[in-house]
Amino acid sequence: MTGDFSSKNVLVTGASSGIGYQAALDLAGKGAYIIGTGRDVTRCEAARTRILQVHPEAQIEYLVADLASQTQIHDLARQAQLLLIEHGNRLDVLVNNAGLYSSKRVLTEDGIELTFAVNHLAPFLLTHLLLPQLLNTPQGRVLGVSSQSHYHAFLSPLKAYRPWLYLSLPVYATSNLCRVLFSAEFNRRTPTPHLHAWSVDPGLVNTEIGQKDKGFLSNLVWRFRKTHGTSAEIPSQTILHLAFSAFHHIAADLYWKDSRPKEPSRLSRDAELAKRLWEQSCRLCGIDDYFNPG
């Protein structure tokens, strides 16, 4: 990794705990200006305090939003844009990390299944809203934290917004497949070669994503998985690698794990499926022209 990190502006979603927090901590330590997001103001304030204790000179702000709500995503984007005006009105790296697992079928206020809404539509919409700032930098980067579970997805991504049969683990896997499909289609559609998207496979990580769900069985499964997980520092290093490596060294590969490229699943390489998911996502988010936020 080379370059002047202090000149970089980075937004990290889900930055109050887990991989997002570790990435915000590590990025702040490199001197970048960080905007972190989270759902809970107390947790966000605590995360910022911990980061400043480690890196007293860190430039870091936190914004609060529930990414299950498209209204709150629009508000989050506007708040982020106001902060970025003071830092050159550009966004060098957008890290779409926030995600959830739900053991039960829940519809959001927008009438969309919760897991699909947060894990796929939220980064899809937030990236769209922040495109002016991403395009205002020489090399805009969009990093989406997916999961190895996407290799096991078998539910249709096109029906994931409101599945008639809810199976929590397959739904979670499908939402992560959607993230990889989004990155691939984003790169096919982007109007400039200087704006690119990648997907990050964090592997099995010791985080609380599954334990935030209140279902007894799922909580038990995630507790077991957590004991076999690695530190969040591992995927954070992959995020830093993609955030700061020379563009031409990483642009050819879509999917990364442990700071190395890896082939994603067969379904994630289906260009027709990615196209149909993109068009459906635009309809669900009320987007007419994705690369022209207006």
Number of residues in the chain = 294
pLDDT at 43: 98
pLDDT at 211: 44
Sorted by sequence, the CB contacts under 8 Å of residue 120 that are 6+ apart come out as 160, 175, 178, 179, 182, 281
62: tokens are 């936190």
Domain 5-206+233-285 is of which CATH architecture? 3-Layer(aba) Sandwich (3.40)
Q: Under DSSP, is residue 113 helix (H, G, I), strand (E, B) or coil? A: strand
Distance (Å, rounded) from C-alpha 49 to C-alpha 52? 5
Task: For the chain, list residues with pLDDT below 50.
Answer: 209-211, 222
Looking at residue 145, what DSSP letter applies?
E
Torsion of Cα atoms, 103 then 110 then 290 then 135, to 10°: -70
pTM check: above 0.95: no
Using one digit for the tens of pLDDT, what is the confidence trace for 224-276?
555 555 788 999 999 999 999 999 999 999 999 999 999 999 999 999 999 99
pLDDT at 209: 47
- The CA angle 153-156-161, to the nearest 5 degrees, is 110
Is the distance from CB of 177 to CB of 150 less than 8 angstroms?
A: yes
pLDDT at 293: 85
